[in-house]
Amino acid sequence: MDSPSSLAIVIMAAGKGTRLKSQRPKVLHEIGGKTLLSHVIAAASQIVAPADIYAVVGHQADKVKAAVAATGIRFVEQLEQRGTGHAIECAREAIAGYENVVVLSGDAPLVKARTVAALFAFHQAQKAAMTLTSAEPDEPTGYGRVLHPSLGSIEVVGIIEQKMLARDQLSLREVNMGLYAFRTAPLLAHLDKLTADNPHGELYLTDMAHILHAAGERVVAFKVPDPSELLGANTMAEMMALDDALRTASAHRLMAAGVTIFRPETCVIDAEVEVAADTVIEPFVQLLGSTRIGAACRIRSYSVIENCTLADNVLVRQSCVLTGSSIAAGASIGPFAHMRPGCEIGEEVHIGNFVETKKAILHKGVKAGHLSYLGDAEIGANTNIGAGVITCNYDGVRKHTTSIGSDAFIGSDSTLVAPVTIGDEAYIGAGSAITKDVPPGSLAVARAHQVNKEGWVEARRARTRKQAEVGKPV
């Protein structure tokens, strides 16, 4: 392959995506948990440096730029979207210094780096001015069709868009997949010859095939056996089909690595999720973002785990929502636990049903079995949190932290009003409202003393009976 500086990659991403009927620009729709454009950028970045990738942006350009700015790619503005040929005209200055340019579509997110590399190698070997990628999908309708000078030739004389097809051309099966390599000099020398003489009144990049051929330049087709990775997301149905393809691929990637996934078609697994062997994923689980799961874990149905790290042997029972947190080996979570960002859950911790945690550090062996809120809290090893314990972390203005030592026992239904510190091995009586620090090894009880009034029920009955006899209201 050429040295990187002689190759630029242009990603056409300025279109509105009219057929999606959405307010959001097409390339910012998500499949497999990532925007269409970031999928394409990820593939392009494996071929050239980000500084040699140019995204043509137009419709809601600022939003599109902001969404992918962190990748370090460059942008070219296409203020008015006058077609794919016009998109490349707008990139003229950006690409002029490169020997070759590869053009990708921002709406074809399954494209693989190795396909782009293979196209470029073919383009170089063929010494072509333009190489387009073609395939014969089961359903060619909607795509541009590729015209050869004779049967079996790889040379191309033109591409005809669906709406321009003559009756006898409707049966043409070989379609343009929208992925091209050009030698920059002939491309720019003849780009001005594009006209908007077509049903959409647009400048079609596809017309360059005919223009270059007519100018005596070599135009060839790089035929791929499997068109699926070049499929576009032009309609919502196409978009969801691509999403399904990506997630199915994710599930198969994990299964090949030794993960058991029951009913994988019901699971939503993002492309970057990693899971180690012998972990079992039950039906209807979602594993999202940068989630990493260790070996021999079990993730039970209906749990949604996003941007979390789970070590080995973790059990997540049904219907847990876990976000932005880490869970150490041997912990068991749920059912129905809600873990908000910033939690660090230690080894063999048990978090039971209806326990909400946020920015909580639970050291080894902590148990919080039922109905608690633990927020902005650090809890020492082996401490037991009774049912219904609440850390009151918010005073209406600011958040405060609760610090609990190790081997402590927090009685059920206690409220710990932060900021407050409870020492090692301290006991809190059930139902206490703790507002002051509790020294290590002590018992704190902060509730009204219990009063038993013996015979009170009988005395009350006698009193009401008497009042009824004298006709007073009872």
Instruction: List residues with catalytic annotation.
Output: 370
Residue 106 near Mg ion by CB under 5 A = no
Q: How far is the CB of 23 from Mg ion (least distance, A)?
A: 19
Q: Which stretch binds Mg ion (CB under 5 A): 100-108, 245-253, 345-353, 458-466?
A: 100-108
Cβ atoms 321, 339 nearer than 8 A: yes
d(CA 378, CA 380): 7
- Does 86 contact ligand UD1 by CB under 6 A? yes
Residue 264 interacting partner from ligand UD1, Mg ion, none (CB closer than 5 to 8 Å by kind)? none
Residue 333 phi/psi, 5° resolution? -125, 135
Our finding on whether 60 is near ligand UD1 (CB under 6 A) is no
Give the strand pairing for 158-160 and 145-147.
antiparallel
Burial of residue 472 (number of CB atoms within 10 Å: 0-12, 13-18, 19+): exposed
Q: Is residue 234 a contact point for ligand UD1 (CB under 6 A)?
A: yes
Q: Which of 75, 98, 120, 143 binds ligand UD1 (CB under 6 A)?
A: 143
Q: CB-side exposure of 72: number of CA atoms within 13 Å?
A: 8
When CB distances are held under 5 to 8 angstroms depending on the partner's kind, the choice from Mg ion, ligand UD1, none that residue 159 binds is ligand UD1
Pairing, β 219-223 against β 158-160: unpaired
> Which window, 13-21, 220-228, 252-260, 312-320, contacts ligand UD1 (CB under 6 A)?
13-21
- Does 186 interact with ligand UD1 (rule: CB under 6 A)? no
Bin 279: left if φ > 0, else alpha if -120 < ψ < 50, else beta. Answer: beta
Contact pick of 8, 10, 15, 421 for ligand UD1 (by CB under 6 A):
15
Under the criterion CB under 6 A, does residue 105 sit at the interface with ligand UD1?
A: yes
Q: Which residues pair with 133 in a beta bridge?
A: 222
Q: Residue 364: CA atoms inside 13 Å, Cβ hemisphere, count?
A: 2
Choices 9-17, 163-171, 280-288, 459-467 (CB under 6 A): range interacting with ligand UD1:
9-17
38 touches ligand UD1 (CB under 6 A): no
Q: What is the bridge-based pairing of β-strands 130-135 and 175-183? A: antiparallel
Residue 176 is a binding residue for ligand UD1 (CB under 6 A): yes
Query: Does residue number 140 form part of the binding site for Mg ion (CB under 5 A)?
Result: no
Angle, helix 113-125 to helix 36-44, in steps of 10 degrees:
50
Rounded least distance, CB 15 to Mg ion, Å: 8
Alpha-carbon gap, residue 304 to 220, rounded angstroms? 48
Contact between 14 and ligand UD1 (CB under 6 A)? yes
Q: Which 207-246 residues touch Mg ion, going by CB under 5 A?
A: 232, 234
Of all residues in this chain, which one has the CB nearest to Mg ion in the complex?
232
Phi, psi of 146 (to 5 degrees): -95, 130
- 166 with 158: CB under 8 angstroms? no
* Residue (of 94, 107, 26) closest to 64 by Cα position: 26
Query: Is residue 186 close enough to count as binding Mg ion by CB under 5 A?
Result: no
AA letter at 40: V
Nearer to ligand UD1, 145 or 300 (CB): 145
Residue 204 found at the interface with ligand UD1 (CB under 6 A): yes
When CB distances are held under 5 to 8 angstroms depending on the partner's kind, the choice from Mg ion, ligand UD1, none that residue 319 binds is none
Cα angle: 237, vertex 147, 14; to 5 degrees: 45
Binding-site member from 32, 109, 158, 178 for ligand UD1 (CB under 6 A) = 178
Contact set with ligand UD1 (CB under 6 A): 12-15, 26, 56, 78, 81-84, 86-87, 105-108, 143-144, 159, 161, 175-178, 204-206, 232, 234
Contact set with Mg ion (CB under 5 A): 107, 232, 234
